[in-house]
Amino acid sequence: MENTAHRAIAIVGVGAVLPDAPNVAAFWENIKNGRYSISEVTPDRWDPALYYDPDHNAPDKTYSKIGGWVREQTWDPMAWRLPIPPCVAEAMDGSQKWGIACTREALNDYGFPKRPLDLDRTAVILGNAMAGEKHYFTVLRLYFPEYARELEESTSFAALPATVRHDITRELHDRMARHLPEVTEDTMPGELSNCIAGRIANIFNFHGPNYVVDAACASAMAAMSSAVEGLVEHDFDVAISGGIDRNMGASTYIKFSKIGALSATGTRPYAEGADGFVMGEGAVIFVLKRLADAERDQDKIYAVLRGMGGSSDGKGKGITAPNPIGQKFAIERAWQNAGLSPATVGLIEGHGTSTAVGDVVEVESMANVLSGFHLPVASVALGSVKSNIGHLKGAAGAAGFLKAALALRDKVLPPSVHCEHPNSAIDFAHSPLYVNRELKPWNVAADSTRRAGLSAFGFGGTNFHAVLEEYIPHRLNGNGKKSVAVAEIPPAIRNEGSMNAKEDVRTPVNISSYKAPLRGALVIGSDSVSALIERLTRVQNEALDGRAPEVAPPAESDLHAPERLAIDYTDVSDLADKSTKALRALAADKPAVWKALRPQGIYRGCGPAPKVAFLYTGQGSQYVNMLRPLLKT
């Protein structure tokens, strides 16, 4: 397996608001105790008398009125000394408030501000789908003219005296205006989903990138995948990531009911009688850092994220139907990116939606991945946080992620509830997977490491899987030092007059005018393919002898040569292996071979170097001297 220590990410802070759990500690106690946090909707959210009908075929009605509701939460920006005026807070959707509150909890958990963070290099990348509920009500208010017109054109209404028609229309307008939020200059930013991340960056003064990712029920995992890549590539040093979902309005229930996806009876992942998912809501936020940095800073570490993998279903049965092929790709890619064998997994925190088809397909996909390792029957625990709190849609992956991280920290296997009788359509009798129904110690051999895999799959055929492992001090980066070479900034660049000396010292691998290789980057060029092969062969021979080229910026002649090759490598052994693959590809000279090598960090170029174009967004994102560092490269 490839050495992937440089990709290890530490979870150093957590915050959450979830059903029956206003914070992380309460959530973990609920999980360990097997608490079931599903209940009926209350009229303060939506009135079942208006929208509920047990008849599955009733038009414009929901046949389900149960969910995992956040009943208890703390929102007190004044006490927290946060600069949020009351009029702004009033216009903010609950999803934005939860994001701020959970980020505050996660930062406090990390130890901020006593434990410093580089605010300039902190990113906010969150998962959310469908925004929140507040926009439904402002839209309802703004569309009043449509309702009034339909009323005016109805035959019975037209038969009334003009003064009566006028009074009814005015009274209806006034009643709706009293009960629906006023539209002000704060309304739009208060409802936009991207402003969930933007609010957090604004309130806590983070200057890294901030954005929201929508991958339906895999949104949180997609966001964390982006956060991981940015950390690994040193685009930023800290990531605030996770997922938020506060969309439990009547319209969402009705639309899911028309798909037939909801359960009216309860959530029971992997169990006999599973008849659909139960919606839930909540938010989970993580503070993420590179493991090497977290160990250097002596941070508290919950668990280590070793790798993530994503996939699409491609052609399948339908845009909302689960596909075992796509799921298998995501799982295999996550373990490959982690550089670990799936045979080492001890816990699977599954997607586990409690649907008749979804649960069966998911277990089948995981079993197929594990089938070649001859693991004992019932040796890998399986569970789903949805058995406790329902399906948090865009935040579902973050809730499962939190559960798995806490299980690794405490070295326990948490129970999955409501599975007294496992689904008979799933072949658990011959599978290494079993549904764990009780809290118990997570025992492993003395020389083993506890590892968990977790999945999130979304409408549209998007799939994500992650590999987490317990934190064992300095196991990956001996003595807290990085186990991979980091290039020194060339003196000519380090001493350039236009550069900020303080920034040079603080982030040596991210000087804006030159981004040094994080591991090793071989870039070579020649006038012909034969000359390129000859040069690469020399590199291969030296690598096989344990010698790697000196890490330095690529030569201009190599960058502009007619025949070019680039290899991203972690160490000399990796360079030897990739050089061999590149030589074989040069001999084969097939575009498909080079395409397959790109994900492995092997790239081929030929002909004149392409021109570079720059595309800028609007909204005033440019600034003076923005291109100066680029012109100096």
Query: 375: domain CATH number?
Result: 3.40.47.10
Domain residues for the domain of 558 are 492-606
The answer on 597 and 545 residing in a single domain is yes
The predicted structure's pLDDT at residue 127: 98
pLDDT of 177 over the 60 cut: yes
Q: What does the alpha-carbon distance between residue 601 and residue 503 come to, in Å, rounded to a whole number?
A: 29
Predicted confidence band at 502 (pLDDT cuts at 50, 70, 90)? Answer: very low
The answer on 209 and 152 residing in a single domain is no
The predicted structure's pLDDT at residue 119: 96
Task: Give Cβ neighbours of residue 417 (< 8 Å, ≥ 6 apart).
Answer: 34, 35, 36, 387, 388, 437
Backbone angles phi, psi at 563, to 5 degrees: -120, 125
Side chain identity at residue 140, one-letter code? L
- The tokens of 331 are what? 């799982």
Task: Give Cβ neighbours of residue 219 (< 8 Å, ≥ 6 apart).
Answer: 127, 128, 129, 213, 243, 393, 394, 395, 397, 458
The answer on 163 and 268 residing in a single domain is no
The predicted structure's pLDDT at residue 285: 99
CATH number reported for the structural domain that contains residue 511 in this entry: 3.30.70
Looking at the DSSP bridge assignments, the partners of residue 219 are: none
Backbone angles phi, psi at 451, to 5 degrees: -135, 145
The answer on 238 and 353 residing in a single domain is yes
Reference 518, options 223, 207, 230; nearest CA is: 230
- The tokens of 217 are what? 């029920």
Position 620 in a domain: no
DSSP 8-class letter at 515: -
Q: What Å distances lie between residue 446 and 15, 101, 258, 443, CA to CA?
A: 32, 40, 52, 9
The predicted structure's pLDDT at residue 571: 84
Q: What does the alpha-carbon distance between residue 515 and residue 506 come to, in Å, rounded to a whole number?
A: 14
pLDDT of 428-469, one tens digit each? 999 999 999 999 999 999 999 999 999 999 999 999 999 999
pLDDT of 293 over the 90 cut: yes
Of 172, 188, 204, which marks where a domain is finished?
Answer: 188
Q: Region 484-501: what's the mean pLDDT?
A: 32
Is residue 427 a contact partner of residue 370, using CB atoms and an 8 Å limit?
no
Indicate the burial class of 170 (C-beta count within 10 angstroms; 0-12, 13-18, 19 or more).
Answer: exposed
Q: What does the alpha-carbon distance between residue 229 and residue 518 come to, in Å, rounded to a whole number?
A: 13
The answer on 588 and 457 residing in a single domain is no
Q: What does the alpha-carbon distance between residue 187 and residue 166 come to, in Å, rounded to a whole number?
A: 29
Position 285 in a domain: yes
The answer on 383 and 237 residing in a single domain is yes
Specify the pairing of strand 122-127 against strand 210-213: parallel
The answer on 502 and 386 residing in a single domain is no
Position 55 in a domain: yes
The predicted structure's pLDDT at residue 315: 84
Backbone angles phi, psi at 375, to 5 degrees: -75, 150
Q: What Å distances lie between residue 144 and 176, 249, 391, CA to CA?
A: 8, 19, 33
In three-state form (DSSP H/G/I as H, E/B as E, the rest C), the secondary structure along 211-258 is EEECECECHHHHHHHHHHHHHHCCCCCEEEEEEEEECCCHHHHHHHHH
- The tokens of 362 are what? 């998911």
Position 633 in a domain: no
The predicted structure's pLDDT at residue 52: 98
Position 629 in a domain: no
Indicate the burial class of 137 (C-beta count within 10 angstroms; 0-12, 13-18, 19 or more).
Answer: middle
The answer on 221 and 342 residing in a single domain is yes
pLDDT of 228 over the 90 cut: yes
The answer on 124 and 139 residing in a single domain is no
Position 116 in a domain: yes
Side chain identity at residue 412, one-letter code? V
Maximum Cα interatomic distance, the chain, rounded to a whole number of Å = 98
Number of domains making up the chain: 3
**Four-point Cα dihedral 365, 369, 374, 375, nearest 10:** -70
Is residue 446 a contact partner of residue 319, using CB atoms and an 8 Å limit?
no
The predicted structure's pLDDT at residue 1: 56
The predicted structure's pLDDT at residue 565: 95
DSSP 8-class letter at 186: T
The answer on 312 and 169 residing in a single domain is no
Specify the pairing of strand 412-413 against strand 440-441: antiparallel
pLDDT of 127-159, one tens digit each? 999 899 999 999 999 999 999 999 999 999 999
Position 535 in a domain: yes
Q: Would you say how long the chain is, in residues?
A: 633
- The tokens of 393 are what? 């849609």
Position 627 in a domain: no
Exposure class string for 490-501: b at 16+ Cβ within 10 A, else e: eeebeebeebee
Residue 12: how many CB atoms within 10 A of its CB? 24
- The tokens of 584 are what? 């074989």
Q: What does the alpha-carbon distance between residue 429 and residue 434 come to, in Å, rounded to a whole number?
A: 9
The answer on 414 and 523 residing in a single domain is no
Is residue 287 a contact partner of residue 106, using CB atoms and an 8 Å limit?
yes
pLDDT of 301-326, one tens digit each? 999 999 999 999 998 777 888 889 99
The answer on 499 and 459 residing in a single domain is no
pLDDT of 102 over the 50 cut: yes
DSSP 8-class letter at 17: E
Is residue 278 a contact partner of residue 417, using CB atoms and an 8 Å limit?
no
Specify the pairing of strand 66-67 against strand 238-245: unpaired
Specify the pairing of strand 380-383 against strand 433-435: parallel
Packing angle, helices 529-544 and 572-588, rounded to 10: 150
